Structure 1
């Protein structure tokens, strides 16, 4: 498969920080590939996701290169990259109807009129398996459960059928049953649309159920990457082995 995305020597340092948040990352992602990025809090995995999507704060300084061989232009947020954040409660606007929030993405990125964009929003709310999507499109975020909010956020992220979907700890604020439902939904959507996926998580168990390949991060560096089957069966580092013990209950 051809490469969609390539990172070479990627590093990120935040202003005033004693150490780099990310350092020396070389990584490639094929079109349609599902990659999980795992590690503990502070390992650099969310910084990596935001660097790829161009969502780093102004206090961040990036070095190295991010290139898109699979595109003939720089990647565009909302069009080529869909991003799902950790907390749907903060990523959704509390004073805008949910359907309008999804429609706004279509209006901005697909050059759609508002009427067509709102029709598409209802279709997408139905696609992410929300009940009564036409009625829900008129509802507000505070009226939904955490899992339902995350489904709305996913609908907004896939409006333009992006080449890459990034889910940054998109299940960590949800209970175990809802986590499994969201992972199953993401798996179905990326398969149906042929999207590549970067799934950021601290939970190697969820990652193993979703990804073709896993990259393990610690202290801002990638310490291991392998196919999911190989990493679960034969982790090369003690850190990866400890994550497997903690989340999958495997023997050390």
Structure 2
């Protein structure tokens, strides 16, 4: 597989902090793969996701090179949200406009990037709500975020993220705020949407069991460093770094089945 995104000696630091949020990193995100970036809070994993999406704050100092080869080949230097990537955040409520109906929010994405008129964009939005398995899409179209549950809002966020058919879906802690049952439903939904749409997935989180269940490769981050990278089966069955082994040990008793499923990826 060819690389969709390439990182060469990429580093990120924030003004006023003594240490880098992300130390120099070389990584290719391959077109069509499902890559998990796993680590504890402060490990640099979300900084990486924001850097790839071009969403870092103005205070960030970025070193090295981050490129989308196909975008660069056609003369664009930055990816466009919605068109090139869709981003699903941990807090779905914060990513939705509280005073705009759900249908309008999704339709705006389709309108902006697909050139659809409002009637076609609204039909596209309703179709997307059905695809993310929200019951009664007609009612959801006219609802506001505060009228939906956390799981429903995350499904809406997924629908908006894929509305313009992006090449890359970035899910940054997209399931960590949900209960176990809803979390499993969202993971299954992400997998299905990625496969149906032929998207690349960057799954960012702290749960190595979920990563094993969902992804082809796992990158493990600690204190701004990528300490391990490999195929899912290899990382799960033969971890090379002590930190990876510690993450696995935290799940073996309570969550062994997803780990066994993940090992079968290899």
Which TM-score applies when normalising by structure 1?
A: 0.97
Q: CA deviation at 1:247?
A: 2.5
Counterpart CA distance in 2 for 1:124 and 1:134 is 11
Q: 1:222 aligned to 2:226?
A: yes
Deviations 1:180-217 (A, max 9, x none): 11010000001011100000010001110000000000
Count of residue correspondences: 250
Alignment check: 8 A CA contact 2:82 2:165 kept = no
Deviations 1:157-201 (A, max 9, x none): 001111100000000100011111101000000101110000001
Counterpart CA distance in 1 for 2:26 and 2:80 is 21
Deviations 1:26-73 (A, max 9, x none): 100111100000000000000000000000011111111111124434
Counterpart CA distance in 2 for 1:114 and 1:56 is 32
Matches within 5 A, 1:71-110: 71=71, 72=73, 73-74=76-77, 75-110=79-114
Matches within 5 A, 1:192-203: 192-203=196-207
2:175 equivalent in structure 1:
171
Q: CA deviation at 1:134?
A: 1.3
Alignment check: 8 A CA contact 1:2 1:70 kept = no
1:31 equivalent in structure 2:
31
Q: Which structure 2 segments of 5+ residues have no match?
A: 257-266
Matches within 5 A, 1:30-49: 30-49=30-49
**RMSD of Structure 2 on Structure 1 (CA):** 1.0
Q: CA deviation at 1:76?
A: 1.6
Matches within 5 A, 1:42-191: 42-71=42-71, 72=73, 73-74=76-77, 75-191=79-195
Counterpart CA distance in 1 for 2:30 and 2:13 is 27
2:264 equivalent in structure 1:
none
| Counterpart secondary structure, 2:193 | helix
Q: Which structure 1 segments of 5+ residues have no match?
A: none
